[in-house]
Structure 1
Amino acid sequence: MAQRLSHLLEQMLGVRLPLRLRGWDGSEVGPPGAPVVVFRNRLALRRLLWQPNELGLGRAYVAGDIELDGDMYEALRRLDDLLWQQPERAAQRGGILRGGMSGGETVRDLIRLGAVGPAPRPPAEEASLRGNRHSLGRDRRAISHHYDVGNDFYRLVLGESMVYSCAFWRSGDPDGGASDYGLADAQRDKLELICRKLALRPGMRLLDVGCGWGSLAIHAAREHGVSVVGVTLSHEQVEYARKRVAQAGLADRVEIRLQDYRDISDDPFNAISSVGMAEHVGLAQYAQYAALLFRRLRPGGRLLNHQIAALHPTDEPATLPGPLARLRRQPRSFIDAYVFPDGELAPGGATVSLLERAGFEVRDVEALREHYARTLRVWVSNLEANWDEAIRLTTPGRARVWRLYMAGSALSFEAGRIGVNQILAVKADADGRSGMPPTRDWLR
């Protein structure tokens, strides 16, 4: 059976399989010593035949129709060129069951393996959103899909810091060896780095857009004496953050709101932080996002925009305005279907350009790509160490989604396909004064 499966998949994909393959009858074929893709049932093959790309593989894995026996990172590395580097290849073939292959022997193999049939229903964990893209209602549903999956589950993965963005690793063993400096320390240092870049001082007002579980808001209020308004669209984040604020004795200085950033109408703030939120805004809405933050900032105030970036974008034209006009729209990916529905990444240069168009003066850009790769590997280790509990708190499919997406994302950061940047911008006053120091010594 494994030999027949391998032959079918190699015909469909047009390349030699880089992994071993085990059929549901226990037979195996493929490179010795390689990680093993275990086809547990006929449905696994049918999913890949209908969707011969990363989405088909993701659906089969999330549903439990496929298992990976061996090192997850090594398996994804070997699949990298096959599924992620050349997604157009699979899309052009269209799948066996939609006419991508022909021949009597192929048809007979499909029938023998029980693969002929309608497209399988996607796993329940796949997002299915209705309404106009990035409307207020659809954005609420997209955020809820990702963040409202259980605070206890997130605490297993993120640790007690409950910070869901890349840490800032000042020391420790990058290979995961023994060290007194761990994730909680690196996340604390990231929060402090943001506060220093914003030059927070007692009496200031900070707007934290996409405040998550309140970690930055609490750190800024407790360590720098500022008042904070944090906004998020996640009901579970709001509930958790408010409890943390009350337990920290900061209810008089930190307000956590269930609010869309587009509905903020407060008087201008002294500083604004946006950490891991702008990826949800949407490329077509980014100019509006930048303009709103500019209006909500006092003259001389600073913005810290921490955002994942697309690296090495293609030059194919798209229907996007301004500096984003040459970004290509990709077919639906596993990340869009299961992790961040409607999320979109822009290159750092496009983000800088849009912030400048809104009136900001960009003063500093710091790339933290390697920091995010290391953070993700720790999150994966946390999940794997607490696998049974993670399944109990959510579903087996949800735990599989997080393991696959975090491990794959770590490799993408390491390979330089995506990056993450902290962009520090200022709103100069009417006379052009930024209030920024003349050198970068203050950042060291």
Structure 2
Amino acid sequence: MADAALRLKSLVEQLIGVPLPVRIRAWDGSQAGPPGVPTLVVRNRRAVRRLLWRPGELGLARAWVSGDLDIEGDLYAVLELIAGLVWERGEDARSLAQAARDPEVRAAARGLVKLAGLPLPPAPPREEVRRARSHLHTKRSDRRAISHHYDVGNDFYEIVLGPSMVYSCAYWEDGGTLEDAQRDKLELVSRKLALTPGQRLLDVGCGWGSMAVHAAREHGVSVVGITLSQEQAAFARKRVADEGLTDRVEIRVQDYRDVADGPYDAISSIGMAEHVGAERYLEYARDLYRLLKPGGRLLNHQIARRPQGDESAYNVDEFIDAYVFPDGELAPVGSTVTQLERAGFEVRDVESIREHYALTLRRWVVNLEAEWGRAVKLTSAGRARVWRLYMAASALAFERNRIGVNQVLAVRPPETGRSGLPLRARTWN
């Protein structure tokens, strides 16, 4: 066979009903598709079998992570070109069901089966997580999910995140560095919380200790940082000791549901609430409300998705759920605000910084690509490929307004009803 690329291109186009916007190079060396565009490299028949057994995003992800599928050219350009096929078409379940009944579509599927060889489902890459849905967001399942994502190795995260070791959206100015932008984000959070010397701050999901160290060093507060990751905690404790802040910063391996030493003057939750889950979110909000003193402030920094027609359905990205954030869930910002207020908070400010996350992710991709060989040695080729795809695709999702990120400032109202915020609230800007 010397025409696998042309046959593959023709069959896929017959299946999806539109021309493929990328060039294909198949395992036999043949090529097909428009010239001058990035090339999708189909290294073997197994890649086709992966797509047949799991059409859509997860099948593509399995082929990519395993190395059965690769890209020659700009990764962002390829993702832009196929975004409409993977995202928009993948969401239209009715049109997909109708297409499956079309005789031409069924004939194309049979042709792909013949081209792929024996139609046995290939085993998923070892980087994929498989678990029972019935245990979502118990303390045990949350520990496993956090360990899968964060206990990859601190050295690997240092490659991606850089010296700041902040794993959340930075706050950019034109011409600034990633480190500048992350410092400015931590300072923005500190100003929104109005941190002053002598206060107690609870940092929920403290990561590698960046917010805890910044708040203690720059604002003189005492900080308790909690995480479920053993590796994060070890790194953060060393960082605290190196900064000479052990008298002001305590890092705990602890679930937010087990914190019992409130009240705190302020609480920061930066990039953590995505792990909570819709079923537990009101509980999360009530726990933070309980831990905050009257008049205290909460800064909840959280990724949001766009509202959908059926908000009762379990909304999850298959690739991210299987390879990146097991059990992670995104909610619309309106749902987050509603749950916080149901718990008793008064929401005082919501700031969208969506474009800032796209810039942050693109910079992380540059960091990873610059030390690709070392990243592979520290983890695995599959894990490094997961991260490259996840961060690049997420950058485009933020740029295309498919997802956003918001800082929600809320107050636990005192009995007097006075929030303690200035009349012109956005003085932190």
Matched, 1:41 2:35: no
State the superposition RMSD in angstroms: 1.9
Aligned AA (2:8): L
Aligned counterpart for 1:149 among listed residues 148, 152, 159:
152
Verify the 8 A CA contact 2:316 2:329 in the aligned structure 1: no
Is the aligned partner of 1:269 residue 2:264? yes
Change (3 A) 1:120 1:200: same
- Output the CA distance in 2 between the equivalents of 1:90 and 1:13: 13
Write the distance in 1 (CA, Å) between the matches of 2:311 and 2:344. Answer: 27
Shift of 1:110: 3.3
Matched residues in 2 for 1:106 and 1:259: separation?
50
Q: How much has 1:441 moved relative to structure 2?
A: 5.0
The count of corresponding residues between Structure 1 and Structure 2 is 422
- Distance of aligned partners of 1:107 and 1:229 in 2 relative to their CA distance in 1, 3 Å threshold: same
Change (3 A) 1:317 1:226: closer
- Normalised by the size of structure 2, how large is the TM-score? 0.94
Instruction: Name the CA distance, whole Å, in 1 between partners of 2:231 and 2:18.
Output: 45
Mapped contact 1:129–1:142 kept (Cα < 8 A): no
1:260 match: 255
1:426 aligned residue: 411
Question: For residue 379 of structure 2, what is the aligned residue in structure 1?
Answer: 394
Q: Given that residues 45 and 115 in structure 1 are in contact (C-alpha distance below 8 angstroms), is that contact kept between their aligned partners in structure 2?
A: no
Are 2:299 and 1:314 aligned?
A: no
Q: Distance in 1 between matches of 2:55 and 2:315?
A: 15
For 1:163 and 1:100, the matched residues in 2 are separated by 51
User: Is 1:381 matched up with 2:376?
Assistant: no
Kindly state the Cα deviation for residue 349 of structure 1 after the two structures are TM-superposed. 1.1
Distance in 2, matches of 1:101 and 1:331, equals 27
SS at structure 2 position matched to 1:171: coil
Match of 1:206 in 2: 201
Aligned residues with identical type, % of pairs: 61
How far the C-alpha of 1:109 sits from its partner, in A, is 5.8
Deviation of 1:11 (Å): 2.9
Mapped partners of 1:154, 1:269: distance in 2? 30
TM-score calculated relative to the size of structure 1: 0.91
Match of 1:417 in 2: 402
For the 8 Å contact 1:383–1:390, the answer to whether it is kept is yes
Aligned counterparts of 1:367 and 1:331: Cα–Cα separation in 2: 22
Question: Which runs of 5 or more structure 1 residues have no equivalent in the other structure?
Answer: 173-180, 319-327
Contact (CA 8 Å) 2:52, 2:113: kept in 1 or not? no
1:241 maps onto 2:236 in alignment: yes
**In the superposition, relative to structure 1, how do residues 439 and 239 fare at CA in structure 2: closer, same or farther (>3 Å)?**
same
Q: Which residue of 1 aligns with 2:82?
A: 79
CA deviations over 1:96-132 (Å, ceiling 9, x no partner): 9xx99544x8646633x34332211110111123451
Equivalents in 2 of 1:333, 1:389: separation in Å? 28
CA distance in 2, matches of 1:106, 1:191: 52
Distance 1:45 1:224, change over 3 A: same
Secondary structure of the equivalent of 1:350? Answer: helix
Whole-angstrom distance in 1 between the partners of 2:388 and 2:104: 31
Shift of 1:435: 1.1
Q: Distance in 2 between matches of 1:121 and 1:347?
A: 34
Given candidates 129, 134, 140, the residue that maps to 1:137 is 140
Instruction: Indicate yes or no: 2:34 matched with 1:31.
Output: yes
Distance 2:200 2:31 in 1: 62
Distance 1:17 1:388 in 2: 32
Q: Confirm whether residue 341 of structure 1 aligns to residue 329 of structure 2.
A: no
Partner deviation per Cα, 1:263-286 (whole Å, 9 max, x = no partner):
111121000000000000001111
Residues 315 and 330 of structure 2 are in contact (CA less than 8 Å); yes or no, is this contact kept in structure 1? no
Q: In 1, distance between residues paired with 2:111 and 2:403? A: 42
After TM superposition, give the deviation of residue 85 of structure 1 in Å. 1.6
> Is 2:129 the partner of 1:127?
yes
Letter in structure 1 aligned against 2:126: A
The answer to whether the aligner puts 1:18 opposite 2:13 as a matched pair is no
2:7 to 4, 8, 15: 4
CA distance in 2, matches of 1:441, 1:119: 55
Structure 2 unaligned segments of length 5 or more: list them.
Answer: none
State the Cα deviation string for residues 223-265 of structure 1 (Å, max 9, x = none). 0000000001111101111110111111111111101111111
